[in-house]
Amino acid sequence: MDLTDLDLARALLIADKDATLVAVRDDEIITCTEHGIKPLLAWVRDGRDLTGFSVADKVVGKAPALLYAVLGPDAVFSPVMSWTGRAVLLAAGIATSYDALVPHIQNHARDGQCPMDASVEGIWEPYEAAHVLAERARRLFSSPQLA
């Protein structure tokens, strides 16, 4: 049986406990260890094109799904995917697979919704979402409370 790019991305994500995202296209493998949407925001900012890639991402809510809609991979797998994240990916023509489909992604304290997903709750246009998310991340990561 041939291993597909998505199978390989999924296997690598599971095997590497530090990996948060693995993208595979043929012999090209990209592994990220940063948490959250930072790597996706950087790729959008840099004009990265993920056409032809299959991606395995630890958690996919609406925010990362909107960024994937800009980046354009062929497929996205996640152990945990939200309903709206899946809807965004499917609307963008991106194949989805997941282990668990959940109503929403929780924040780290598990007492509410992921703040990045909350910031794009009423937004469905991927490029508008990328702008809003970049601004939200800039404010969040430059906050004195987080320093």
Report how far Cα 101 is from the mean position of its chain's Cα atoms: 14
Task: For residue 20, give the nearest of 62, 58, 63, 76 by alpha carbon.
Answer: 58
Tens of pLDDT along 44-76? Answer: 999 999 999 999 999 999 999 999 999 999 999
User: In whole angstroms, what is the distance from residue 10 CA to residue 14 CA?
Assistant: 6
Give the global pTM: 0.93
| Between 138 and 83, the higher pLDDT residue | 83
Given the structure tokens 């702008």, which residue do they identify?
A: 131
| Between 137 and 53, the higher pLDDT residue | 53
Indicate whether 85 pLDDT > 90. yes
Tokens (6 digits) for 105: 């992604």
Domains, the chain, in order of start with CATH, read 5-142 (3.40.140.30)
